[in-house]
Amino acid sequence: MTVYNLALIGFGGVNRALAEIVAERNERLREELGFGLRVVAVTDLRLGSIVCADGVDLDAILALGPGDGDFSQYEGGSPEPRNEWVIKNAPADVVVEATFTNPLDGEPAVSHCRWALTSGRHVVTTNKGPVALAAEELKALAAGSGAAFEFEGAVMSGTPVIRLVKRMFGGLELSGFEGILNGTSNYVLGRMESGLDFDAAVREAQELGFAEADPTADVEGHDVRLKVAILANELLGACLSPADVPCTGISALTAEDIDKAAAEGTRWKLIGSARREPDGSVSAQVAPHAVPLSHHLAGVSGAVNAVAFDTDLLGVVTISGPGAGRLETAYALLSDIIAIHEAKTTPTTRSVLSS
């Protein structure tokens, strides 16, 4: 039976959750999916790195807490992350990239993906930066080395949207989409409807773990802008950079704006959208809109994400599901590995017609 060796680059919530899935469900995966998984390397800024060709002791490293030392206490371990060395030299088939990434240049994740693909290793990532800023380069590297570059979790975490549309919308023509692609901003707007002011709603989102200590990327729409660029490029055939997507966040909305919308039978949502223009070009934007309660995105509440696609034969098709969460995002990585395995046994893949 095929066994894929994994190198986990970054050992925060998402890759830690993937390690838990491998530790707890590997036998079930073998039975249901026809392949197994073995973690042979892990890197982390705090814990260092560990490489073990026979498989890392996942129970041991998952038990490491703050103050419990680093990977150097184990065979094959080092106190240094050694990301480049591990990516290029560990006996891994798949590099799982889940580090913090600068949204301006995509680093260090772009370099991590580049090193892996150049070395002929498959890459699965949940990072938006490499996909929004360097997808064409990374796809070309993957094609040249016979590797795969998969990134389903970069847009809606564990909720499949890119692969679902590419596989299941064959024969349909897409003219555009609009979506709620950031659970934090959606949660904040919902709490403002309940009477909280903006600052209080953000603090509550932070306390619940929805928002980062610095919520700017969420509430100012920067996170959504990256996701819109990814969806537009992947599903509408655009060539947009994030800078091509005008972006307005929700921080300027007041209690008066919320009350006025409610009185008019509307509801504020931060919406990322893209549309094919008559000349064939694709335009996109991120902005708050007061949508009528009958709108297909009006009922999306809390930290849930949703994207509504405009199609010629089916009309509006909406995909909704969790847009965050460590286990949900880890599942997206697993789904990418499943796709890599399927591609080895199923040579043809249907794609969406977006012209």
CA 156 to CA 177: how far, in whole Å?
Answer: 14
Q: How many CA atoms lie within 13 A of 245 on its CB side?
A: 32
CA 133 to CA 350: how far, in whole Å?
Answer: 25
CA 312 to CA 196: how far, in whole Å?
Answer: 41
CA 333 to CA 344: how far, in whole Å?
Answer: 17
Q: How many CA atoms lie within 13 A of 287 on its CB side?
A: 8
**Which listed residue (139, 166, 227, 260) is catalytic?**
227
Q: What is the number of other CB atoms lying within 10 angstroms of the CB of residue 40?
A: 22
What string of H, E and C letters represents the secondary structure of 45-114? CCCEEEECCCCCCHHHHHCCCCCCCCHHHCCCEECCCCHHHHHHHCCCCEEEECCCCCCCCCCCHHHHHH
Q: Which residues contact 85 (CB under 8 A, 6 or more apart)?
A: none
Amino acid identity of residue 83, one-letter, is: N
Give the CA dihedral 82, 87, 90, 94, nearest 10 degrees.
Answer: 140
Q: What is the number of other CB atoms lying within 10 angstroms of the CB of residue 344?
A: 10
Measured between alpha carbons, how far is residue 267 from residues 169, 187, 260, 262, 300 in Å?
Answer: 30, 13, 9, 6, 11
Nearest alpha carbon to residue 182 among 72, 7, 15, 323: 323
Catalytic residue check, 344: no
- Collapsed DSSP state (helix, strand, coil) of residue 305: strand
Cβ(240)–Cβ(133) under 8 Å?
A: no
Annotated catalytic sites, by residue?
A: 227
